Structure 1
Amino acid sequence: MPPSLLPGASLVWLAVGHPRYTRGDKRKCLNNYAYRLATALTLGITFPLASLAPSCPCGAGIDTLGDHFFLCSRATAERVFKHNTLLDVFKAILAEVGITAVTEVPLRSLNITPPNAQPNSQRMDLFFSINGEGVLCDITVVHPCRPENSTAHHTQVNRSNARRPGGFAAAGAERDKDRKYGANCRQKGYTFVPLAAETFGRWGGETLTLLRRLAQRRVLPPASSAEDRAFFHEGVMNHWGSVCRSR
């Protein structure tokens, strides 16, 4: 099994979440098709694609393992959908710990120079403050099986990257985001955190660090021991991870 799919790395979304979230909570519900597709992609098994055209509008053939769906914007909006829903989840997590976040913040409104003239590079997904520290976050979703040298529309798909160490793709996505935005944000006194997620479910290290920091803000029961606090915060992390992975 590829390291990116090892238990504990990508299958946590199957775990039972916080008891206050019921079975009917839409943040943890998948319809039948979405569940079958998620299971097939996670386990690396073929998925029935009989109802789909044999080729993508970009000209590539549709592979039975589904990689092309996560690589080509002309095939589906799968990664865009995941990006947008994760943005909603992160905003809800911040609200849960008493932090108000602003989404789609123009960089120039913070006196930060955008990295280029591309429309998608002019805004930051999240802006919030923790103890007077301004934090900017940008979400990125990366597919571990993305070819090293992708063509314009990813017309050749292979699964070699899935054999890389777990989290390899997410770590690379974090570095790419930091190269793009990090220096300009820090120059103006802001902290930049790339929120990277792999399509198989693994989170980037900086995302986990931020979630742990936010978990510390959750109110503990009175007279809690150090062991109780550690268990409580770990439970919060597991709950948030379950919610995020179900999107």
Structure 2
Amino acid sequence: MESSIGVDLARVRASSKPESGSWLHALPSPQMGTLLDDDSLRIAVALRLGCDICEQHHCICGALVDSRGHHGLSCPKCAGRFPRHHALNDLIKRAMVMANIPCVLEPPGLSRTDGKRPDGLTLVPWERGRSLLWDATCVSTFAASHLAGTARVAGSAAENAARLKHQKYTDLKNRYLFVPVAVETSGVWGGEAKALIRDLGRRIASRGHDRRSGSYLAQRLSLAIQRGNAASIMGTFGPGMTRGGLLD
């Protein structure tokens, strides 16, 4: 069982990072796609404040889920992982287009021994004459494997995930500028991810868009993380127990 003290330390340290609360600054507009639904808002607030989210129950994977619901954030069967991953990459691609930087998701033809592809590639040079290659990942701040680090230093799980991404794409780094977009379920970002989003925001503003474009992009990425968290936690309930289940 996860240490409640360690969980609270990790939560408080994560909350001290400005990017973890970017979703709180987003204008709640359904027309702009920045309005959280009731479940997502409730779960986002509960995760930030350390409140109970649900009653104790068994996840669809068989594991016991406690009242804070953190198991769903790292469960391999959680429903929010893939939609969140898609949303993060889609937002980055849209931002690239706004900055007049053509790019492609899951670029084909890049040499990988395991057949897997990175998430995105710019089709023109990004810096130092090389195109930008990025790969996004979201790891749980409260997973047992990360808790010892995140309880000491906010963002340690994201930084560790970024290092693993660098190792994964070592063979491509001699041709491309690789940046891991590593974030945590608490909303904390890795250092390279923050630098990329700041740079992208500046490039968007330089094309004549709002000077706050970088902040708006950060807000949308933060919202995508919170929506993924909610989907993951709600996904621990079995069929017929939620609005998307058999009893609807």
Provide the C-alpha distance between the structure 2 equivalents of 1:148 and 1:127, rounded to a whole number of angstroms: 31
Q: Deviations over 1:222-241 (max 9, x none)?
A: 9xxxxxxxxx75x3322211
Match of 1:24 in 2: 30
Provide the C-alpha distance between the structure 2 equivalents of 1:25 and 1:172, rounded to a whole number of angstroms: 37
Match of 2:221 in 1: 244
Partner amino acid for 2:120? L
Match of 2:239 in 1: none
Match of 2:44 in 1: 38
Q: What pairs with 1:44-123 in structure 2 (closer than 5 Å)?
A: 44-49=50-55, 54-74=57-77, 76-106=78-108, 109-110=109-110, 112-114=111-113, 116=114, 122-123=116-117
Matching of residue 127 in structure 1 with residue 132 in structure 2: no
Partner amino acid for 1:31? D
- Percent of aligned positions that are identical: 29
Quote the offset at 1:184 in angstroms. Answer: 0.6
Gaps of at least 5 residues in structure 2 are 1-8, 225-248
Match of 2:141 in 1: 144
Match of 2:153 in 1: 165
The runs of at least 4 consecutive aligned structure 1 residues that moved more than 6 Å come to none
Provide the C-alpha distance between the structure 1 equivalents of 2:119 and 2:17, rounded to a whole number of angstroms: 30
TM-score (norm. length: structure 1)? 0.76
Partner SS state of residue 144, structure 1: coil
Q: What number of residue pairs does the alignment pair up?
A: 210
Q: Deviations over 1:80-139 (max 9, x none)?
A: 221111111111111111112111123xx13x233x3xxxx5111101133552111111
Partner amino acid for 1:185? L
Partner SS state of residue 40, structure 1: helix
Match of 1:227 in 2: none
Match of 1:154 in 2: none
Provide the C-alpha distance between the structure 2 equivalents of 1:70 and 1:105, rounded to a whole number of angstroms: 28
Does the CA-based 8 Å contact 1:37-1:47 persist in structure 2? yes
Q: What pairs with 1:197-208 in structure 2 (closer than 5 Å)?
A: 197-208=183-194
Match of 1:156 in 2: none
Quote the offset at 1:49 in angstroms. Answer: 4.0
Partner SS state of residue 130, structure 1: strand
Provide the C-alpha distance between the structure 1 equivalents of 2:19 and 2:201, rounded to a whole number of angstroms: 19
Does the CA-based 8 Å contact 1:138-1:194 persist in structure 2? yes
Q: Deviations over 1:134-163 (max 9, x none)?
A: 1111110011111128xxxxxxxxx55542
Q: Deviations over 1:16-58 (max 9, x none)?
A: 46xxxx82345311111111011111222111348xxx21233
Provide the C-alpha distance between the structure 1 equivalents of 2:51 and 2:148, rounded to a whole number of angstroms: 15
Quote the offset at 1:205 in angstroms. Answer: 0.8
Partner amino acid for 2:155? G
Match of 2:240 in 1: none
TM-score (norm. length: structure 2)? 0.76
Provide the C-alpha distance between the structure 2 equivalents of 1:47 and 1:34, rounded to a whole number of angstroms: 11
Provide the C-alpha distance between the structure 1 equivalents of 2:125 and 2:32, rounded to a whole number of angstroms: 29
Q: What pairs with 1:226-237 in structure 2 (closer than 5 Å)?
A: 235-237=212-214
Does the CA-based 8 Å contact 2:15-2:186 persist in structure 1? yes
Match of 1:216 in 2: 202
Provide the C-alpha distance between the structure 1 equivalents of 2:26 and 2:138, rounded to a whole number of angstroms: 24
